[in-house]
C-alpha cells in the first residue's frame, strides 16, 4: 500500500528542512548559544536544541511586566536527562542536585518518563550544566526531539524474578536507538568540531531526516502497568514462565497527545501485533522506528506520530512491512493481565532478599516544603552511600539495592526530615501533574501548581463520605499533549 504523503518535497514541513540541513543537528546552534545579546535562540535553534535534550521556555507570569519595560521575555531552558529505566547511583544523585542548585532553580523534577528535568537554566549556564552531566556519566542526548526518547521500564523489582533481566532492556534499546551524531559533544563538551562545509555523520537509523515526530518506548512487567504501556509508540510487555523470561508482546501506535481544536488528532491505545522472543526485541524496536521513519507523515506534524501512520496505512500493512524487514513473522501474543499501576510505598524486598523503599515526591518536585523535606533527606541518604536511586514513572523516587544493615539508617534519615508513611493520603500519593504554567510554552491551563488544591478538595469529599483510606487516581495535564498521562 502507498499514498502520496511525503512525495512532494515542497509539501514537507519547515522542520523537515531544518533537520536535513542541520549537518547532524549542528547548524549554527553553538554560535547561537554563545550569543550574549539575547537569552533566546532562533526558530531553527528551538527545533534543534530539542534533540540535545532541551526546550526554550520563559516565565509566563512575567511576560506583561517584561513587555511593559520593553525587555525581552525572561527566557530560560529546560533540560531533560536521558536516564533509561530511571536508575541513578548515589554519586550521580549528589552531583545532579548540586548542579541543579548551581545552574537551575534548585528543584529537580522527576517526570513520568523516569527521568529528571532542570528548569530555569539561563543560556550562559547551559554548557556548564551539560558538562556536569558528562562528568557524572550522564547526558541529555535525544531526551527530546524527533527521535526515540528516554526508554522507561517498570520500576518494581518484586513483580517478577526476572525483573532485573527485563529492566536492562531499557538501557540496551536506548543505546541502540541513540543518534550517532557527534554534535552533542562538539557543542556542549568542547569536542572536535566538524568543518562548516562538511556533512554530519551518516546515521543508519535516522539518516539525515530523523523521525517524523517524537517516539516513545516503554517496558512493562504484568501485572504492574506503572508505565502505561499501551500509550507508547512501542510497548514491550514482558512474558515469562515461572522464573524464566521468554520475550515480549509488542504493542505499537499508542499515544495520548492531541492538538487543541484539531479533530483529526486524538489519543490512541496501541495495537498488540504479536510476541517476539527476547533475543529479537531490540532489533524489532529498531525496525519499527525505521518503518515509521520511512512511512510517517512529514508534511503535517500534527499527523506525524506512529498512531496516525497506522490509521492511515493500516496495522496489517505496517506489520507486514515490519516482518519483511525483520525476516520473521510475529508469534501470537501471549495472554496478559494488568491489575495496578501505582508505586509500592515503603519497604519491600525482591526475590534475592535485597531491600527497596519507595518515597513519595509531591508532583515529582524534589524540594523541602511544609516539613516534608524530601530534598534534604535524599541528599543525606546519597551522601552516606546507603543505596542507589530509581525515578519511577509515577514521579516518585525508589531507594534501591539496600542491604539489611542499612535499613535502620535510612528510616532514621527519612523520619528526621518528615518523610513518614501516612504523611499523605493515598489519593495524594496517586496524583500526577505535568509542569504546565508558568514555564511550559504549550500550557493552556494550570496543572502542577493547581494539583495540591484540587487534591485537597477531593480529600475533603472522601472524608465526608468515609472514603479517605481509598486511593483515587488523579492526573492533571496542562494541554492536550498529555504529559501528565491523563
Q: What is the DSSP string of 209-230?
A: T--SS-B-EEEEBTTB-TT-GG
All structural domains of the chain with their residue ranges? 1-11+148-181+197-342, 346-428, 433-476
Q: Under DSSP, is residue 235 helix (H, G, I), strand (E, B) or coil?
A: strand
Spatial distance between the Cα atoms of 357 and 344, rounded to a whole number of angstroms: 8
What is the pLDDT, as a whole number, of residue 3?
A: 77
Question: For residues 337 and 357, what is the distance between their CA atoms, to the nearest angstrom?
Answer: 25
Active site residues: 80, 149, 214, 216, 434, 440, 479, 483
pLDDT at res. 422? 83
pLDDT at 217: 99
Tell me the C-alpha distance between 247 and 239, whole Å: 5
**Residue 177 confidence (pLDDT):** 99
DSSP string, 113-132: TS-EEEEEE-HHHHHHHHHH
Q: Nine-digit cell at 196?
A: 562548516
Q: Are strands 54-58 and 75-80 parallel, antiparallel or unpaired?
A: antiparallel
Write the CATH number of the domain with boundaries 1-11+148-181+197-342: 3.30.413.10
Q: Decide: 30 and 52 in contact? Cβ < 8 Å.
A: no
Q: Determine contact, residues 51/143, Cβ cutoff 8 Å.
A: no
Cell of 330: 510475529
Whole-number Å distance between alpha carbons of 429 and 367: 16
The pTM assigned to this predicted structure is 0.96
User: What homologous superfamily does CATH list for 346-428?
Assistant: Sulfite Reductase Hemoprotein;Domain 2 (3.90.480.10)
Half-sphere exposure of 19 (CA within 13 A, CB side): 22
Measured in degrees and rounded to the nearest 5, phi and psi for residue 25 equal: 70, 25
Q: What is the pLDDT of residues 414-458, one digit of tens each?
A: 999 999 988 899 999 999 999 999 999 999 999 999 999 999 999
Residues 327-342: tens digit of each pLDDT: 999 999 999 999 999 9
The stretches in the chain having pLDDT less than 70 are 1-2, 194-197
Amino acid at each position: 500500500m502507498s499514498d502520496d504523503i511525503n512525495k512532494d518535497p515542497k509539501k514537507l514541513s519547515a522542520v523537515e528542512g531544518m533537520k536535513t540541513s542541520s549537518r547532524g543537528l549542528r547548524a549554527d546552534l553553538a554560535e547561537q548559544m554563545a550569543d550574549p545579546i539575547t537569552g533566546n535562540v532562533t526558530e531553527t535553534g528551538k527545533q534543534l536544541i530539542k534533540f540535545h535534550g532541551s526546550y526554550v521556555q520563559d516565565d509566563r507570569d512575567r511576560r506583561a511586566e517584561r513587555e511593559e519595560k520593553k525587555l525581552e521575555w525572561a527566557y530560560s531552558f529546560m533540560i531533560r536527562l536521558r536516564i533509561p529505566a530511571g536508575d541513578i547511583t548515589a554519586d550521580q544523585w549528589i552531583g545532579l542536585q548540586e548542579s541543579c542548585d548551581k545552574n537551575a532553580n534548585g528543584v529537580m523534577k522527576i517526570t513520568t518518563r523516569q527521568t529528571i528535568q532542570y528548569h530555569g537554566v539561563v543560556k550562559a549556564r547551559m554548557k556548564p550544566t551539560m558538562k556536569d552531566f558528562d562528568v557524572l556519566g550522564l547526558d541529555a542526548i535525544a531526551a527530546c526531539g524527533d527521535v526515540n526518547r528516554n526508554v522507561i521500564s517498570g520500576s518494581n523489582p518484586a513483580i517478577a524474578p526476572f525483573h532485573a533481566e527485563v529492566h536492562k532492556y531499557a538501557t540496551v534499546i536506548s543505546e541502540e536507538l541513540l543518534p550517532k551524531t557527534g554534535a552533542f559533544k562538539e557543542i556542549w563538551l568542547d569536542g572536535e568540531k566538524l568543518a562548516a562545509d562538511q556533512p554530519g555523520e551518516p546515521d543508519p537509523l535516522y539518516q539525515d531526516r530523523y523521525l517524523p515526530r517524537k517516539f516513545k518506548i516503554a517496558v512493562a512487567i504484568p501485572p504492574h502497568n506503572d508505565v502505561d504501556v499501551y500509550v507508547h509508540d512501542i510497548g514491550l510487555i514482558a512474558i515469562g514462565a515461572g522464573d524464566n523470561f521468554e520475550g515480549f508482546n509488542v504493542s505499537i501506535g499508542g499515544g495520548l497527545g492531541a492538538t487543541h481544536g484539531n479533530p483529526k488528532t486524538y489519543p490512541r491505545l496501541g495495537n498488540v501485533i504479536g510476541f517476539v522472543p527476547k533475543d529479537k526485541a531490540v532489533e524489532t524496536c529498531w525496525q519499527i522506528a525505521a518503518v515509521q521513519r520511512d512511512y510517517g507523515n512529514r508534511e503535517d506534524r500534527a499527523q506525524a506520530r506512529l498512531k496516525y501512520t497506522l490509521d492511515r496505512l493500516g496495522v496489517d500493512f505496517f506489520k507486514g512491512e515490519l516482518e519483511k524487514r525483520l525476516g520473521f513473522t510475529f508469534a501470537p501474543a501471549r495472554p496478559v493481565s494488568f491489575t495496578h499501576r501505582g508505586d509500592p510505598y515503603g519497604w519491600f524486598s525482591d526475590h534475592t532478599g535485597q531491600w527497596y523503599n519507595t518515597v513519595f515526591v509531591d508532583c515529582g518536585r524534589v524540594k523541602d516544603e511544609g516539613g516534608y523535606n524530601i530534598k534534604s533527606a535524599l541528599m543525606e541518604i546519597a551522601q552516606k552511600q546507603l543505596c542507589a536511586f530509581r525515578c519511577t514513572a509515577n514521579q516518585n523516587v525508589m531507594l534501591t539495592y539496600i542491604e539489611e544493615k542499612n535499613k535502620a539508617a535510612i528510616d532514621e534519615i527519612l523520619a528526621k526530615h518528615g518523610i513518614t508513611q501516612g504523611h499523605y493520603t493515598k489519593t495524594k500519593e496517586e496524583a500526577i501533574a505535568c509542569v504546565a504554567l508558568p514555564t511550559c510554552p504549550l500550557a493552556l491551563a494550570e496543572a502542577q501548581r493547581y494539583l495540591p488544591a484540587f487534591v485537597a478538595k477531593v480529600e475533603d469529599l472522601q472524608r465526608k463520605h468515609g472514603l479517605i483510606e481509598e486511593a483515587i487516581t488523579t492526573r492533571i495535564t496542562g494541554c492536550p499533549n498529555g504529559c501528565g498521562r491523563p
